[in-house]
Amino acid sequence: MTSNIRYRSRASRADDAEDKEYVGFATLPNQLHRKSVKKGFDFTLMVAGEFGLGKSTLVNSLFLTDLYKERKLLNAEERIKQTVEITKRTVDIEEKGVKLKLTIVDVPGFGDAINNTECWTPVTNYINQQFEQYFRDESGLNRKNIQDNRVHCCLYFISPFGQGLRPVDVEFMKALQDKVNVVPLIAKADCLTPSEIKKLKEQVREEIDKYGIKIYQFPDCDSDEDDEIKQQDKGLKESLPFAVIGGNTVLEVRGQRVRGRLYPWGIVEGKTLSWNLRLPFPALVLL
Amino acid sequence: MTSNIRYRSRASRADDAEDKEYVGFATLPNQLHRKSVKKGFDFTLMVAGEFGLGKSTLVNSLFLTDLYKERKLLNAEERIKQTVEITKRTVDIEEKGVKLKLTIVDVPGFGDAINNTECWTPVTNYINQQFEQYFRDESGLNRKNIQDNRVHCCLYFISPFGQGLRPVDVEFMKALQDKVNVVPLIAKADCLTPSEIKKLKEQVREEIDKYGIKIYQFPDCDSDEDDEIKQQDKGLKESLPFAVIGGNTVLEVRGQRVRGRLYPWGIVEGKTLSWNLRLPFPALVLL
């Protein structure tokens, strides 16, 4: 997931001076690199799940921005009237000179109504529209500056209290599985003990298998990679669905400023948490 | 609430020997006491709220029993088919010779479907039926052994993640408010920090006022009570909706066995929690 975002060029560029004189196919990788840096990348991420599961907090933690500054929380009356809608927020991020145009597609009101029948239809419609738009743009004459608005990935937030998937979770993931990469996440994992997280993960995995839900499959790493990377890759695949925590307050722990959550019985902090839960990647438990 | 259950006779009984000889209206309190001990008490408690909010755990913690031994958790497929139904479990509890017939009315499947329109109808129908039955029994000839199955109290579990009441919460409480004493609870409060609990309580109280939901009002204590009891009474009223935690594992803390929840960053334990949250009653945060 993060590899798309924290893109770092691994290709070692040839010396610039030499580069200018030499003309041949050996410069093709360099040309590709320059072009991609100039053009930047587009990435569209969809976040979906019940209200209050920390979707916005997680997005803010992931990209260290505040995408939802102007958001107003609705009260119960407004939420009764609210329909499922799609909102889009775009932010330009730059890391080491490489630009990323990040679009976050949000589905406020999803699963929040009393009657949630077909509440995934606006979402599937939206995804289909983007495919259609891209297809039309690609069939057109001016194909140089096509804006790619297709949804690349959908983070689906599962309630930590459900003891498995709820009916609406199954239906949503099934409706989206052929259109977009669905990555299921267990939200607000700090309200579960490590053994409960393990049990819930197993239960969700079992149910995903049982209902034939196609979630995003991480590609296998190259066979010539280091053993350590292979191990990490295996661990990453095994830890699906990821358990996540979003922390938007900055606390001071042992003289250091960390993002976390302060409970009367202890501090939830990214590093210690991933260590305690024996997770392979601290970054997957985001604080 | 607990006063009905942990009933303790405060009336000091006159000496038994003297009692037998004396006949007069001064023995009436004693007669009432004897009769109530012989007959025992009926208490019917309804628990309602979304799946997974710890209703069964809380009931088990409250009465230190295991009422849900034979319960089988449904998977997502079974939960899709499931309709809202009413289940009733009865247990006889005895404390210091005083018997209590406790009936727990549960509403599995409530709010769990994709379409939850009118999911409170089976609940209101059930309550009405009990009123009707009691009315019929009271109008009948043999009124001696009437079984009181009316629902005396309904504990309504609010999700800690909702940032207030959800539409289904408002509708449920409004449907029940004139039929039964509704006591709103914030479930699984251990996933909120103290300031979040305070904020959520305020929000819920505000919304209860706004939508004119009539929740159970604690009766005022007698004006001749001690200041300490008056203070407790005030604290109790102010802490509505109660934040609760159910812990069904027994842990060893500082050589003592306590009911609690063990997180990697600390142990949630009844006593310390109520102290930390400055709650007037440790018993209200049940572990």
Q: Which residues of A touch B167 (CB under 8 A)?
A: 76, 79-80, 112-114
CA angle B207, B213, B216 (to 5 degrees): 115
Give per-residue pLDDT as tens, A175-193: 999 999 999 988 888 888 8
Nearest beta carbon to residue B76 from set A52, A165, A265: A165
Give per-residue pLDDT as tens, B217-254: 888 877 787 888 888 778 778 878 888 887 767 777 77
Q: B231-256 in b/e burial notation, b at 16+ Cβ within 10 A? A: eebeebeebbbbbbbbbeeebeeeee
Q: Which residues of B touch A53 (CB under 8 A)?
A: 161
Give pLDDT, residue A239. 79
**Cβ within 8 Å, pair A266-B262:** no
Burial of A250 (C-beta count, 10 Å sphere; 0-12/13-18/19+) = exposed
Give per-residue pLDDT as tens, B124-149: 999 999 999 999 998 888 887 788 88
Residues 98-127 of A with CB under 8 A from B: 112-117, 119
Nearest beta carbon to residue B75 from set A76, A207, A269: A207
Q: B19-38 in b/e burial notation, b at 16+ Cβ within 10 A? A: eeeeeeeebeebeeeeeeee
DSSP code of residue B13? P
Give per-residue pLDDT as tens, B59-94: 877 777 777 766 666 666 666 666 677 888 888 888
Distance between CA atoms of residues B283 and B15, nearest Å:
34
**Cβ within 8 Å, pair A167-B51:** no
Q: Which residues of A touch B51 (CB under 8 A)?
A: 161-163, 166
Give pLDDT, residue A15. 53
Is residue A203 one of the residues assigned to a domain?
A: yes
Of the residues A114, A249, A274, the best mutation for testing chain B's interface (the one with the most B CB atoms within 10 Å of its CB) is: A114
Give per-residue pLDDT as tens, A185-217: 888 888 888 888 888 889 999 999 999 999 988
A29 touches chain B (CB under 8 A): no
Q: Which residues of B touch A211 (CB under 8 A)?
A: 76-77
Q: What is the CATH number of the domain that holds B25?
A: 3.40.50.300
Burial of A15 (C-beta count, 10 Å sphere; 0-12/13-18/19+) = exposed
B210 touches chain A (CB under 8 A): yes
Q: Which of A100-104, B29-33, B177-181, B205-209 has the lowest mean pLDDT?
A: B29-33
The pair of three-digit structure tokens given for residue B42, joined into one six-digit string: 């009926």
Q: Is the pTM of the predicted complex or chain greater than 0.90?
A: no
> In chain B, which residue's Cα lies nearest the Cα of A265?
B266
ipTM of the complex: 0.70
Is residue A17 one of the residues assigned to a domain?
A: no
Is the pLDDT confidence value at A8 over 50? Answer: no
Q: Which residues of A touch B159 (CB under 8 A)?
A: 52, 161
A211 touches chain B (CB under 8 A): yes
What average pLDDT is seen over chain B?
77
| Nearby residues of B105 by Cβ (< 8 Å), 6 or more positions away | B44, B45, B46, B47, B86, B87, B88, B126, B151
Give pLDDT, residue A81. 64
Is residue B57 one of the residues assigned to a domain?
A: yes
Give pLDDT, residue B83. 65
CA angle A208, B168, B175 (to 5 degrees): 140
Give per-residue pLDDT as tens, B153-183: 999 999 888 888 888 888 899 999 999 999 9
Is the pLDDT confidence value at B184 over 70? Answer: yes
Percentage of residues in chain A having pLDDT higher than 90: 11
Is residue B2 one of the residues assigned to a domain?
A: no
A79 touches chain B (CB under 8 A): yes
Give per-residue pLDDT as tens, A76-125: 666 666 667 788 888 888 877 888 888 889 887 777 777 778 888 888 99
Give pLDDT, residue B127. 92
Is residue A275 one of the residues assigned to a domain?
A: no
Is residue B5 one of the residues assigned to a domain?
A: no
Parent domain of B101: 14-284
More confident residue, A285 or B229: B229
Residue A260 β-bridge partners: A249, A269
pLDDT winner (highest mean) among A24-28, B106-110, B195-199: B195-199
Query: Quick one: how many helices (H) and strands (E) in chain B?
Result: 10, 9
More confident residue, B7 or B259: B259
pLDDT winner (highest mean) among A12-26, A145-159, A232-246, B99-113: A145-159
Is the pLDDT confidence value at A275 over 80? Answer: no
Interval A219-240 mean pLDDT = 80
The count of structural domains within chain B is: 1
Of the residues B78, B114, B267, the best mutation for testing chain A's interface (the one with the most A CB atoms within 10 Å of its CB) is: B114
The answer to whether B161 and A73 are in contact (CB under 8 A) is no
More confident residue, B72 or B40: B40
What average pLDDT is seen over chain A?
77
Q: Which residues of A touch B79 (CB under 8 A)?
A: 166-167
Q: Which residues of A touch B268 (CB under 8 A)?
A: 263, 265
| Nearby residues of B115 by Cβ (< 8 Å), 6 or more positions away | A114, A115, A116, A117
Is the pLDDT confidence value at B287 over 60? Answer: no
**Cβ within 8 Å, pair A193-B161:** no
Give pLDDT, residue A72. 67
Is residue B72 one of the residues assigned to a domain?
A: yes
Q: Starting from the edge strand earliest in sequence, which strands make up the sheet with B249-253, in order?
A: B249-253, B256-263, B266-269
Is the pLDDT confidence value at B112 over 70? Answer: yes
Give pLDDT, residue B10. 43
A170 touches chain B (CB under 8 A): yes
Give pLDDT, residue B18. 55
The answer to whether B255 and B242 are in contact (CB under 8 A) is no
Nearest beta carbon to residue B266 from set A80, A171, A265: A265
Is residue A20 one of the residues assigned to a domain?
A: no
**Cβ within 8 Å, pair A53-B161:** yes
